[in-house]
Amino acid sequence: MHVEPSPTRTDDLDEAVALFVRHRRRLFGIAYRILGSAVEAEDVVQEVWLRWQKADRAAVVSPVAFLSTATTRLAINVAQSARVRRETYIGPWLPEPVDTSADPALGAERAEAVELALLLVLERLTPVERAAYVLREAFAYGYAEIAQMLELSVVNVRKIVSRARRHLLDERRESVDAAEHRRLLGAFVAAARTGDVASLEALLTPDAVSLSDGNGVRGCARVPVLGRARVARLSVHRRFWREAEPEFVEANGSTGVVVRRDGRPLAFMTAAASKDGIHQLLWVFAPGKLAAVTGSRPGG
């Protein structure tokens, strides 16, 4: 015998779906900033949806707090296990770039907290420290709210966020504005494509570093390349640039470059720059990390 679902239960589920969809991008933003991985962030958000479906929603005082808390705690758990997995990663690990032009909401919450260079520095914090900093600085949650999410005292949360801020200030340099960043990146790509080592050196700071994330991809540097001269020589790799087509994109809230050959993505590159020039180049070659910024799939 077929039994029609009760209107009350159907309406309740429709409301639950609508609320989750409304906040989904924020949940992804929290998870992504904690994890530096779009794939892992999507997995976390999917798990939060399953928990929201199964929850006794009538007993939930604040649905938004429930969803944010579940996302944060799951992301911390994933980050803790990811640290162990990355011990076997081949070469430097970099965050997975994402296309923020296609998803403006991801960069809307204090966009600087999603920049690739900052996400890389955040990796040096513990997962709990990272979560506290992200919740406070990127999403402006109150200390009491963060304390509830992390099951810590307000005093402890304040100390964690303050310590994280100091650590990040020590690690980061004052950035140039968006227009200058794009100009420097454009000049760098132009010089690299033509093999102009002298012009590249003029764009770089003496202590410039180039990091390449390939996880074993052939021809990808497996150690950081240090110093203006070495970074410049590496960047004019003729075989890499032959018939390559660079495309400027908005990724992680700033300008980046997707390099393609025959329409297929080879790499993503962006840079961190101060008034003294480009001091950090970030290259992502690992095929699985290019999908979120190119809309492609490895082998597709």
Structure confidence at residue 52 (pLDDT): 95
The overall average pLDDT reported for the chain is 89
User: Which string of DSSP letters, residue by residue, matches 14-71?
Assistant: HHHHHHHHHHHHHHHHHHHHHHS-HHHHHHHHHHHHHHHHHS-GGG-S-HHHHHHHHH
Q: Confidence band (pLDDT; 50, 70, 90) for 290?
A: very high
User: Which residues 6+ apart lie within 8 Å of 287 measured at CB?
Assistant: 217, 298, 299
What is the spatial distance between Cα 262 and Cα 292, in angstroms, rounded to a whole number? 19
Span 89-102, mean pLDDT?
Answer: 89
> Over 60: is that where the pLDDT of 196 sits?
yes
What is the spatial distance between Cα 208 and Cα 231, in angstroms, rounded to a whole number? 7
With beta carbons less than 8 A apart as the criterion, state whether 232 and 204 touch.
yes
What is the spatial distance between Cα 300 and Cα 262, in angstroms, rounded to a whole number? 13
With beta carbons less than 8 A apart as the criterion, state whether 45 and 71 touch.
yes
With beta carbons less than 8 A apart as the criterion, state whether 183 and 174 touch.
no
Name the token pair of 126: 């513990």
Round to the nearest angstrom and report the end-to-end CA distance of the chain: 47
Span 173-197, mean pLDDT?
Answer: 94
With beta carbons less than 8 A apart as the criterion, state whether 281 and 288 touch.
no
Q: What angle do CA 217, 222, 225 make, to 5 degrees?
A: 130
Span 186-208, mean pLDDT?
Answer: 97
Q: Confidence band (pLDDT; 50, 70, 90) for 11?
A: low
pLDDT tens, position by position, 141-154:
999 999 999 999 99
pLDDT tens, position by position, 115-125:
888 899 898 89
Q: Which residue has the tokens 């309406």?
A: 11
